[in-house]
Structure 1
Amino acid sequence: MQKTVPVIALTKCGIGIFDLDWWVPRLGLFKSVTLPSVLQASEGYEFHWFILLDEDMPPEALESLRTAIDETGGTEKVHLQFVRTSIEANRAGLNAMRSIVGDHQRALVIRIDDDDAVSREAFTTALDAIDDRGRPAVVSLAEGYIFDAPGIVYGEWASPNQTSNTYYYGNLAEVRRVIWHNHTKALFNAKRFGYQSKSVLGKGRNFLYTVHRQADGSYEERQQRIQEWSDVDDQLADEFALDVEGLAEWQNYQRTAKRTLGLTWRRAMPEVTRIRELYAEIDKLKREIVKTNSTLFDPKTPFLYLLDPAIPPASVKKGKVRFRGVATPGSRLDLSLAGKSSNYKLFRTVDVDDRTGEFDFHCGFNAATWKVRLDVVDRETEKVLKTWEFKLTVR
């Protein structure tokens, strides 16, 4: 029964990192640990794995990743999803889920890092822990191992709050509410939203949390969590599908690998912070587009566009400039201008056609760069229905 539920894995991999010296060891670990492990756990399931990558990642790294996926037999299951920035990754992951199950079908979703692993039966154990398939759930397979990759040793560990052992069951909206929150609070958030929340103990050790020197967190501090280490044996390698030979090669490379100057994921913080602010503005504008174009046949819905001048590039010759377009039928269009300052002054007012919303008029302009503001105004209430500001270069 449980294998009829789609399983979707989401992995953010190296978004915002373009140094090939970083990618080589990272992919070595991914190819030896995460890739074979997740593919083994997926056997028998309808499984889709979306790896979220930067569209500007080094071509050599991309080719190495594609080759590894092909050689491991994952071509049909693994999908590479490219984003411009890390800010887009969460949305891209959810859109990937939507492409598989739509808005209403429930699926089991896991966020897994590009250096961790899951056991052969992890997906089955997570699904078996969901008591009511008609309700959303967050399940943590709390018992697993810490894997010290440089030493190729491991130790038993229990923690309910790792990305590699937390599973989200639900439809798109249900998963969206919890998956990208702080993973250390996943079970708490599940309870807060009225979801099933379960930490599974006594059902085997189902995750392998990898520590190594390339991570931003302290390798030494994470090592200290384990009191007794054991060498990786055939049983562990089989349970998690580890490529022990690949790990040995990776281990040799680590002995000469460079240490990142500063924290890898924080080095571009000023730019990422600014991008986040810009995306907030983009989201606001997108909501306005949805509002405008969700009622295409309602004459009261505010809208505005220009046919002349052409925008972009919003560049015209000096003299009489034609303003031709369409706005909300029966409204008024106010054209205001500003020069070097931002102090707009009303320059022209026209009533648009009561039936079609069309307008067509000319204004005289001297050569300069002008700030133009068009306001669509309700004639009766004087309420501004829509505003558009842009620069007009008059040459």
Structure 2
Amino acid sequence: MAATEFLHVLSTRVGIGVYDEGWFDYRLRLFESVTVPSMAAQTSQDFTWLLVVDAKMPPRARSRFDAVVAPLANVRVREVEFKTDFRGAVVEWCQAEAARRGLSRVLTSRLDDDDALRVDAFERLQSEAADAIAAGHSDLAVFSLNLGCMWSPSHRRGYTRYHDSHSLGLSLLEPAEAVECVYSRPHREIKQRYAPRGAYIRGVDGGTRWWLYAAHAIADSDKGDGARRDKILKHRYGYHLDDDLLAGFGLDPAAVAALAEAGEPTPTAPTKFLSLRAMETERRIKALRTELAGASFLRRRLLTQRLARLESEREKAGSGIVTR
């Protein structure tokens, strides 16, 4: 199903606010071995993959990132300065691109940079969106892929999980002139927030596992206690991800084996909510910059000093995440 009636944009943030080369060493290995092949193998390539990165990504990491995504014709890279700029960058790009193409609707989907979707996931989501439009539900519609696999790439073990508002593949269809994008609400809340506005809510159920959610030492959801990994390894109904299962997500078993052989880094502290770390510092920096624009000479000196301290604090929060 070609997304001819709407613009389909998958948006992913890649290391915004992270300045640790060691973190990128493993995270980009996951990105290259899991996420990129999954997207390259989608049976419908009628989507744009908007990758939002930090303008100050460490040079070695940026070179590697650029090389990994270079072969993908539907990738667009957008640089931002702050984590808090992410959603605005997605909204702005979607509105401009929809206007350029003359499209009145936008379907935004979300995916993290260490996870994967089944190769026909976008074909299904686009078909669901087209059906919603045909049925007159095009003002607002939320789509979720409810069944997937929690897995440990290092152990190639997983178990099947149901979640009626999981982040992976979660999508929002809306008018182009009023785009808020799928990141407008936390993934667990988006259906509840849009339902009162008359949104069409569609969860894809059944027996198909649509996503692979990776558990590893530097996952944004990792509490540092190994509980998520242990649950995967010891789950009563756990299983080995065989070659056929991996192929259904576009993954090469040899690349997954190499990923496991490389081993996971050791975090210096739990990485849970890493994507939210130092966001208050960012807000303070933005507020000071606004104040600086209209400040007197003496006031500017003081504000400049405060800014320097906050910017140093922000960079420190994104450094030293893993041990070398």
Above 0.5 in TM-score?
yes
Q: Output the amino acid matched with 1:185.
A: E
Structure 1 gaps, min length 5: 285-310, 316-339, 343-368, 370-395
Structure-2 residue corresponding to 1:119:
118
- Secondary structure of the residue aligned to 2:226 is helix
Q: Deviation per CA, 1:164-190: give whole Å up to 9, x if none.
A: 131111234554065321111122122
The residue that corresponds to 1:274 in the other structure is 281
Name 2:78's counterpart in structure 1: 81
Aligned partners of 2:148 and 2:210 also within 8 Å: yes
Which structure dedicates a bigger proportion of its chain to strand? 1
1:48 aligns with 2:54: no
CA separation of 1:174/1:243 partners in 2, compared to 1, >3 Å: closer, same or farther? farther
In 2, the alpha carbon distance for the partners of 1:247 and 1:221 equals 22
Q: Can you list the C-alpha shifts for 1:53-91, whole angstroms capped at 9, x where unaligned?
A: 111111111111111123xx31x2111111111111111
Structure 1 190/39 Cα, relative in aligned 2: closer, same or farther at 3 Å? farther
Matched, 1:95 2:92: yes
Paired residues of 1:3 and 1:45 also in contact (CA < 8 A): no
Count how many residue pairs are aligned between Structure 1 and Structure 2. 287
Task: After TM superposition, give the deviation of residue 147 of structure 1 in Å.
Answer: 1.8
What are the Cα deviations for residues 130-177 of structure 1, in whole angstroms up to 9, with x where unaligned? Answer: 443133210011011112112112221111222213111123455406
The equivalent of 1:64 in structure 2 is 64
Return the letter of the residue paired with 2:161. W
- What amino acid does structure 2 have at the position aligned with 1:132? A
Distance 1:277 1:105, change over 3 A: farther
1:236 and 1:282 map into 2 onto residues whose CA distance is: 51
TM-score (norm 2): 0.78
Structure 2: distance between partners of 1:312 and 1:174 = 32
Q: What are the within-5 Å matches in structure 2 for residues 188-337 of structure 1?
A: 188-202=192-206, 204-216=208-220, 217-218=222-223, 220-223=226-229, 224=231, 226-254=235-263, 257-263=265-271, 265=273, 269=277, 272-279=279-286
1:144 maps onto 2:145 in alignment: no
Distance in 2 between residues matched to 1:88 and 1:35, nearest whole Å: 24
Residue of structure 2 equivalent to 1:105:
104
Letter in 2 for 1:128: S
Structure 1's 265 and 202: CA in aligned 2 closer, same or farther, altered over 3 A? closer
Distance 1:262 1:206, change over 3 A: closer
1:140 and 1:265, CA in 2 relative to 1: closer, same or farther beyond 3 A?
closer
| In structure 2, C-alpha distance between the alignment counterparts of 1:254 and 1:38, rounded to whole Å | 24
> Corresponding residue for 2:174?
170
The amino acid that maps onto 2:227 is E
2:256 and 2:262 mapped to 1: Cα distance? 10
- Is the contact between residue 145 and residue 170 of structure 2 (CA under 8 Å) also seen in structure 1? yes
Preserved contact between residue 178 and residue 189 of structure 1 (Cα < 8 Å): no
Q: Secondary structure at the match of 2:251?
A: coil
- Shift of residue 283 of structure 1? 9.0
Summarize deviations over 1:20-44 as a string: whole Å, max 9, x none: 1110000000111111102222x44
Structure 1 residue aligned with 2:158: 154
CA deviation vs aligned residue, 1:290-332 (integer Å, no higher than 9, x gap): xxxxxxxxxxxxxxxxxxxxx99988xxxxxxxxxxxxxxxxx
Contact 2:39 2:117 survives alignment (8 Å): yes
Query: Displacement, 1:264?
Result: 6.7
Larger helix proportion, structure 1 or 2?
2
CA shift, 1:278, in A, is 5.0
Partner SS for 1:164: coil
The secondary structure found in structure 2 opposite 1:138 is: strand
Alpha-carbon distance change, 280 to 197 in structure 1, aligned in 2, over 3 angstroms: farther
Instruction: Rate the CA distance shift 1:283–1:239 in 2: closer, same or farther, 3 A.
Output: farther
Distance 1:213 1:57 in 2: 21
RMSD after superposition? 3.1
Structure 1 residue aligned with 2:40: 39
CA pair 206-268 structure 1, distance change in 2 beyond 3 A = closer
Q: Which has the higher contact order (CA 8 A, sep 6+)?
A: 2
Question: In the alignment, does 2:19 pair up with 1:12?
Answer: no
Alpha-carbon distance in 2 for matches of 1:105, 1:50: 19
Q: What's the CA shift string for 1:85-109, capped at 9, x where partnerless? A: 1111111111121232139621321
Equivalent position SS for 2:248? helix
Structure 2: gaps spanning 5 or more residues? 302-324
Retained in 2: the 8 A contact 1:54–1:85? yes
Question: Could you say what secondary structure the match of 1:240 adopts?
Answer: coil
Larger Rg: 1
Q: Is the 8 A contact 1:6 1:45 kept in 2?
A: no
Question: Structure 1 residues 264 and 157, CA, compared in 2 at 3 Å: closer, same or farther?
Answer: closer
**Cα distance change, pair 84–162 in 1 and its aligned pair in 2 (3 A):** same
User: What is the CA–CA distance in structure 1 between the aligned matches of 2:214 and 2:185, rounded to whole Å?
Assistant: 21
Shift of 1:127: 2.9
